[in-house]
Homo-oligomer: A and B are copies of this chain.
Amino acid sequence: MESERTSEVVADSLIKEIRGNYLAIGATLPTERELCDRFSASRPTIREALRIMEFKGYLRQASNKRPVAEKPTIQKILKYTAENLKEILDDTDSQAYLEQMRQFIEVGALRTVIESSSEVNLARIHKALVECHQAIGNQKTFAEADIAFHRAIVKVVDNPIMLNLHDMFIRNLLFSRPPVSDQNEHDTMVYQEHKSIYEAILRKDAEAAMAVMNQHLHRSYKIRLQVPSVE
């Protein structure tokens, strides 16, 4: 029978306080010496407990500063996961694997939209489509509208894990988008693809919707893999 380290016991206890809202998010934790008194433990043991809490996402503490209570969020957990995966897989590989996942999520979400989407959700997708149209030619605004269109589709699934995964992927996309030579031409083409997707949604044509979405996602991803020119 394995006994648990005192540091684990202390960390678990403090985590319960945070999760039970006895310690507010952003609130400074009691000093190490206060925690020593409270838990009848030594300071090195308390410090170990604080490290444990930090890695479980319940604490944030810059060096030489007071520790602050936090709670893990879906976003943080997924971000941490992606970083860990990046560390053990080749960086390019892990990126491609995660992009593939994003595509599966988007295509799956599209199918959900077609099978069982409410009027509210359709209205949201339509609004996103209109905003794409209005943003044609403006690189920044169009990028955001482009992303919002995809997000509106994934949001229909009502699954916070997938939505956060999608948001995480989108963050990466925003930062790695290559420049396009003709903004208007590019935006118009993307808008046409969105429009085709939306129309297929309306007539509940799953096959057409998914074919266009697949093409749209692959083309969009391939832009980032284009052959460097020899200038």
A129 adjacent to chain B (CB < 8 Å) = no
- The answer to whether A97 touches B160, judged by C-beta atoms less than 8 angstroms apart, is yes
Q: A51-B48, A97-B162 are in contact. Are A4 and B63 (CB under 8 A)?
A: yes
Q: Is A26 an interface residue (CB 8 A)?
A: no
Whether, in the assembled complex, A39 has its beta carbon less than 8 Å from a beta carbon of chain B, the answer is no
Q: Is the CB of B157 within 8 A of A100?
A: yes
In angstroms, Cα B30 to Cα A149, docked, is 54
Min CB distance A90 to B, Å, is 11
Question: In the complex, are the beta carbons of B72 and A87 less than 8 A apart?
Answer: yes
Contact B72 A84 (CB under 8 A): yes
Contacts of A64 in B (CB 8 A): 3
Which of B71, B80, B101 touches A162 (beta carbons < 8 Å)?
A: B101
Q: A103-111, A176-184, A193-201, A221-229: which one contacts chain B? A: A103-111
Chain B residues within 8 Å of A47, by CB: 44, 48
- Which of A54-62, A117-125, A130-138 binds B? A54-62
Chain B residues, Cβ within 8 Å of A2: 62-63
Give Cα A100 to B120, complex, Å. Answer: 22
What 0/1 readout, one digit per residue, does chain A (168-211) give for beta carbons within 8 Å of chain B? 00000000000000000000000000000000000000110010
Instruction: Show the binding face of A for B, using Cβ within 8 Å.
Output: 2-5, 7, 44, 47-48, 51-52, 55-57, 62-64, 71-74, 77-78, 80-81, 84-85, 87-89, 94, 97-98, 100-101, 103-105, 107-109, 111, 157, 159-162, 206-207, 210, 214
Task: Sample 15 A-B pairs with CB under 8 A, ordered by A number.
Answer: A2-B62, A44-B44, A44-B48, A47-B48, A51-B52, A51-B55, A52-B55, A55-B55, A74-B88, A78-B81, A100-B159, A101-B105, A101-B159, A107-B111, A206-B207
